[in-house]
């Protein structure tokens, strides 16, 4: 990640230091897959596209590797360890930004990945005439108070608003407000910190898409139409090459030759995903003539293919890979291969199948000259 000062329209902080245990994911929810990519990546890409730089991602202690992987390729991202509370994490982020000479800052919770350019633009426009701005939505349901499990007073919903992030501030003011905070650092959001410091906070229109991912069902978006894709690839076995299959390195007297790491199984899977999304093929997106792909790990191709599918509105339903070779034996490595593919794809291992077969000594694969692979995937729409 880049760690130098940046000229920018505005800076941003993505708060992603919690554990997200209620979401029922195997990893903290901000790094779990949602609609084809890690949760935190959605917000980082939206902010970067709007001109935010630098973007400080405040993450849990020890999460540098998983965060760097989730945010790979997004310019201007800095990783920072958070504090014990959300408020402390934001304060850490603001202090880290101080050296960059920011005039404006947007503070956003990673758990709200549905961030649109329209919301960002409304916030920035509001900062031209106001000290701070937050997105809000009206309260639709009737509101009541509660006392010991019983209904108490009715509350006028017309005067109430649902508060969202991101929230926008003039940088020096919100930094001073955090430093001036008295008592426990447990404010629910930065607007509360700003208001306590006497900063006037204006309201702009929010977006229902900014729903906060909280429980397991939030990661099970309604699925509608599905698409099928097929991929096939073959590479020659050569002495002196490493052998990579499904992202797993296998000890063998020969390895697969190719411009990248020549992982024939992942290449077939990438083509299947791109085919299902009607997005071309692996050679179109990662041409062998491009020197940046020389020796590249094929997991980069697979992650990018899933991003392309996500941009088209699709998530992976399941994937089935068949490896065709006489040697090495695939059986002893099958579960490791499934685990690795599932990790790259960000899906449960139950959605990934890896099989092997031979050609009964027939043809180039039967003579041990190379290894082939074919893959079939089902992409499901999350737009329905």
Model confidence over 329-371: pLDDT tens digits?
999 999 999 999 998 998 889 999 999 999 999 999 999 999 9
Where does CATH 3.30.1330.50 sit in the chain?
226-381
332 touches 291 (CB < 8 A): no
**Looking at the predicted structure, is the pLDDT value of residue 305 above 90?**
yes
Helical axes 334-345 vs 299-311, angle rounded to 10°: 40
Q: What is the pLDDT of residue 268?
A: 97
Tell me the pTM: 0.71
Q: What is the pLDDT of residue 259?
A: 82
226-381 has CATH 3.30.1370.30 classification = no
User: N- to C-terminal Cα distance for the chain?
Assistant: 36
Helix, strand, coil distribution of the chain in percent, nearest 5: 35, 30, 35
Where does CATH 3.90.550.10 sit in the chain?
10-219
pLDDT in tens, 116-154: 999 999 999 999 999 999 999 999 888 888 899 998 888
d(CA 217, CA 361): 49
10-219 has CATH 1.10.10.10 classification = no
Half-sphere exposure (Cβ direction) of 17: Cα atoms closer than 13 Å: 22
């Amino acid at each position: 990640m880049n760690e130098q000062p940046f000229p920018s329209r505005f800076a941003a902080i993505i708060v992603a230091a919690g554990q997200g245990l209620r979401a029922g994911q195997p990893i903290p929810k901000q790094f779990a897959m949602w609609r084809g990519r890690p949760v935190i990546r959605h917000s980082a890409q939206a902010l970067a596209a709007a001109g935010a730089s630098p973007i400080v991602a405040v993450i849990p202690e020890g999460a540098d590797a998983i965060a760097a992987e989730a945010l790979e390729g997004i310019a201007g991202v800095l990783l920072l360890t958070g504090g014990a509370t959300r408020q402390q994490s934001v304060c850490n982020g603001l202090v880290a930004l101080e050296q960059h000479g920011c005039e404006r800052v947007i503070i956003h919770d990673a758990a709200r990945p549905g961030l649109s350019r329209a919301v960002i633009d409304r916030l920035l426009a509001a900062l031209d005439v106001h000290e701070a701005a937050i997105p809000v939505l009206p309260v639709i349901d009737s509101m009541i108070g509660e006392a010991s499990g019983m209904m108490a007073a009715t509350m006028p919903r017309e005067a109430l608003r649902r508060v969202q992030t991101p929230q926008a501030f003039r940088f020096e003011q919100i930094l001073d407000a955090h430093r001036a905070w008295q008592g426990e650092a447990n404010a629910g959001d930065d607007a509360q910190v700003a208001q306590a410091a006497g900063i006037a906070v204006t309201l702009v229109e929010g977006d229902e898409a900014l729903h906060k991912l909280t429980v397991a069902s939030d990661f099970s978006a309604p699925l509608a139409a599905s698409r099928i894709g097929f991929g096939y690839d073959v590479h020659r076995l050569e002495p002196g090459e490493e052998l990579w299959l499904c992202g797993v390195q296998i000890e063998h007297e020969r390895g697969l030759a190719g411009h990248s790491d020549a992982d024939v199984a992942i290449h077939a899977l990438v083509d299947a995903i791109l085919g299902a999304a009607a997005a071309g093929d692996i050679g179109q997106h990662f041409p062998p003539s491009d020197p940046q792909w020389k020796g590249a790990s094929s997991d980069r191709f697979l992650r990018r293919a899933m991003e392309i599918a996500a941009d088209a509105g699709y998530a992976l339903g399941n994937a089935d890979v068949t490896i065709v070779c006489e040697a090495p034996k695939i059986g002893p490595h099958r579960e490791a291969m499934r685990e690795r593919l599932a990790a790259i794809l960000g899906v449960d291992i139950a959605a990934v199948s890896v099989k092997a077969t031979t050609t009964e000594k027939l043809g180039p694969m039967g003579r041990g000259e190379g290894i082939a692979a074919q893959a079939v995937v089902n992409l499901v729409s999350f737009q329905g």
